[in-house]
Chains A and B, each alone.
Chain A
Amino acid sequence: MTPQNKIFAAPLGLLMTAVVLGSGPVQAAALESGKEYMAVTNYPNNVHVLDLDSDTLIKSCQLPDAFGPGTLQMAPDKHTAYILNNHYEDIYGVDLDSCELVFHAKMSQAPNERTKTLFSFAVSPDGKELYAVQNPTELHRDHYRVQPPRLAVYDTAAGLDAKPVRTFEAPRQVTVMQTGADGSLYMVGPDVYKMNVETGEREVAIPSRNWQRPNYTPPDVLSVWPIQTATRDFTFMYTTARFQDETQNLETADWLWGYMNINLDTGETETRDFGPITEVYFTGTRSPKDPNLMFGVLNRLTKYDVEKQELIQAAELDHSYYCIAINGAGDKVYLAGTFNDVAIYDADSLEKIGNIELPGGDMAITSSQIFVR
């Protein structure tokens, strides 16, 4: 443990408003307005900022406590990066200009509670609130008791000992979340829900496990990368099988990739198949230039024509990458997750442009986010 961490660990719970975290070998001033950046986390305790004009690392801030999963969400003002870490038990807010820790919320609300958040947090469109679906377990002396999940609402100005200002009952098995321009909270769970964060009421925004698409199997959805896009599309993929007819014969069914999408500005939703399953992807996203182009990544970087439901291009990779992101212009694809290099590909040709090496270790299942200050 570094000295900074020790200093940090002790005052949690005291009324500190900000703690300057140690910064890494690379140090820089405030981010520049109008410029495009990527924020990404990696082991052992880093959040890095990359300049996407020069495709260079410009800053590394250090995070307190243990790493994992490192899921990152940018605040709407693009100043604060919120990071789920410490073995899924804490959310931290880091000011990317100063590397200061400006927010900290421990997911557990009681001494005998151990609470994990499984990628499920989001920030309100005005940046004033942070939402987390928390999965608590009561730790009794000789047994555990799993508790119902809850949606905890935090005031992002609450500092380093933030407590929920409201809590609501939440569904089990929720992963990624985003907020719409109208303040609604979208949560991906057994179905995709739209929640009113004032009342806790929710409705189904996109049926998933319970979709009623004739002659389709229920989709399989596992998204743990809440990718924030330039087009304000909240996109996550599914796999499914489409039967030839009512006999529902799996032997002759078409196995398909598809995506579900919520446009966070308009609230418009979409469920759409985009191609046959020929390989596995961890993440996918559409081109901001041409929404008919869908990209997927794990062991290859691929591109689909959504309309034609065809794989149109594929690039071999140096190693697996988990998390995809595309710059606002839609001309560069950035691949993060696993190892400690971000790979850059030309979005049109899928030719490799280069790599950005990150100090530190594995990015693991981090979510990289591209944003314009």
Chain B
Amino acid sequence: MLKRRRLPHALSLLSVAMLAASVNAQAQGDAETVMAQTCAACHSSDKEGQYTRIDNQRKTPEGWLMTIARMQVMHGLKISDEDRRTVVKYLADRQGLAPDETEGSRYALERRLNTLETFDSQQFTETCARCHSGARVELQRRPAEEWEHLVHFHLGQWPSLEYQALSRDRDWLPLALNEMVPELAAQLPLETDAWTKWQLADKPQPAGQWRLAGHMPGRGSMSGVMSVEAQGKDVYSLNFEGRYADGTPINGKGQAIVYTGYEWRGDLEIDGTPMRQVFALAGGRLEGRMFETLHDEVGFDISGARIDSGEQALLALQPSFLKSGESAELTLVGTGLGGQPDFGDGVEVEEVLASSATEMRVRVKVADGASGVREVRIGDSDTQSLSLYDRIDSVRVVPDYSVSRIGGNGSSTPKVYGLFDAEAWSAGADGETGTADDYRIGVVPATWRVEPFDERAAEDEDVRFAGTMDAATGRFTPGAAGPNPERRMSTNNAGNLKVIAEVADGERTLSGSGQMIVTVQRWNNPPIP
């Protein structure tokens, strides 16, 4: 049903940190006691402890957290943070989603708020994803009756819903009940083979040592080792030691809880900054994102592999591109590394500078004229792309369309930064940019600036008011929140900006651009947008 559109949304009940891994998971018995004391007040329970509504839904840990938080905010539920954590853990384990069922929607859990969602179903896009992410819906499973309850809840809670654009042009309620509900029940049913199988499946073992590789826009690549120790059922302590590609250390400690057998949620302090991990464990591998708790736009894309799994994994090449005719050092990050890596034609290993099971540093010479993308592997490992190029033909700003937000200045939400990478691209064999054989070289250093995106932005002096771009890092810091008397009509510091990266390639300078909307605060910021 899914995929990519800009998330409009809106949030703010409770910070993601509520899933904090600061307590031991409690026994099932505790959760059942808490539910009998709290949930049962409204959700009738039969002799077998079946609760109306609750038993007929499955969702992610964040989904259950939002449900309970909504009960607190809207329906007067009183529950301690500790009891809530207990119930979230219990429900996420008992009525979660199978790993396959979260595929394609994990960007929402990973707080990638610049994702542009698109969905095959126009009805789904206009009915559900009009106000919140479609992922929020796709990360739930319910029978028809429960989807129907959800429609009634939405219109009952937000009566203006049927008067809004893309609602007032149609008979919203009958369409939602008679067309959307059956579609959701068919696409996202309560009972699935995936969930049945997952409940019976062997679950990944989190404890041990994990090799991680990551990349943060504007900061670059890093790698490290995360040591994980069991502290209790599904609760782990973790210690991360790593360094950026430029050699700067990056270290931290924290705790994590594993929900549903694979949903890893960690809270760490990395070099003094609180960060959160949202990973999916799959066998000896993990994928996800590690981001600042207070600035979730600042984060690393992470992939990892268990060091003791015996598996050969190639997680990253740092750097992942080389210029033809030059010698360069290259680091391979992975597990089970050893032997001689094969980089394919035109790349000769001059010297192995260091070699261990988790990292190999080599000096390679790229032949004159060698170009194109090589798929590099070691032994049985998966592959990583290595781009060879002789010149940069174009530059792309990534993301090419994004949103940052004003904040601070006494308002309840911090600023949301804009973070960018400049991607170098080759025109490929035909020498012509914009054709199918163009290939991505990789992220290159750039000089950054912003310009008005259009005439209106120029007239309103958006560049002056909307924030400041760090020329070296490409990090954009938006302006202060609130009306600005210096602006026309005292408007706030919103803006429509063109983000420009200038990249030097030898004597030549190339540039690329993207669009960034600097907009107002996200007032409503729940864990799943």
Contacts and interface: CB of A to CB of B under 8 A. Distances in A.
B459 to A, nearest CB: 12
Given A142-B42, A172-B171, A118 B52 contact: no
A319 B152 contact: no
Contact of B157 (A142, A144, A145, A221): A144
A167 interface: no
15 contacts: A88-B159, A118-B159, A118-B160, A137-B159, A139-B156, A141-B44, A142-B44, A143-B152, A146-B152, A172-B171, A173-B168, A209-B169, A222-B165, A317-B489, A319-B489
A245 B149 CA distance: 45
B490 interface: yes
A271 interface: no
Interface of A: 88, 114, 116, 118, 135, 137, 139, 141-146, 172-173, 175, 190, 209, 218, 220-222, 299, 316-320
A73 to B, nearest CB: 19
B152 A145 contact: yes
B157 A175 contact: no
B489 A299 contact: yes
B152 A175 contact: no
Which of B162, B169, B173, B483 has the most CB atoms of chain A within a 10 A radius of its CB?
B169
The SS class assigned to the B binding surface is helix
B309 to A, nearest CB: 45
Given A143-B149, A143-B153, 20 more contacts: A118-B160, A135-B159, A137-B152, A139-B156, A142-B42, A142-B53, A144-B152, A145-B156, A146-B156, A172-B162, A175-B163, A190-B168, A190-B171, A221-B168, A222-B163, A222-B165, A316-B488, A318-B489, A319-B489, A320-B489
Contacts of B169: 209, 218, 220
A173 B163 contact: yes
Contacts of B243: none
Contacts of B52: 142
Interface in B56-109: none
A173 B163 CA distance: 6
A302 to B, nearest CB: 15
A173 B490 contact: no
A137 B156 contact: yes
Interface of B: 42-44, 52-53, 149, 152-153, 155-157, 159-160, 162-163, 165, 167-169, 171-173, 483, 488-491
Contact of A146 (B167, B173, B489, B490): B173
B36 to A, nearest CB: 15
Contacts of B483: 319
Nearest to A209: B169
Contacts of A317: 489
A116 B159 contact: yes
A249 to B, nearest CB: 20
Nearest to B176: A146
Closest 5 CB pairs of A and B: A137-B156, A144-B156, A116-B159, A141-B42, A144-B152
B490 A318 contact: yes
A91 B171 CA distance: 27
A294 to B, nearest CB: 23
Nearest to A141: B42
A266 B490 CA distance: 43
Contacts of B53: 142-143
A137 B162 CA distance: 14
Contacts of A135: 159
A191 to B, nearest CB: 12
Nearest to A117: B159
Contacts of B157: 144
A43 B24 CA distance: 47
Contacts of B156: 114, 137, 139, 144-146
A297 B173 CA distance: 32
B318 to A, nearest CB: 48
A292 B24 CA distance: 73
A74 to B, nearest CB: 24
Contacts of A145: 152, 156
A141 B160 CA distance: 23
Contacts of A118: 159-160, 163
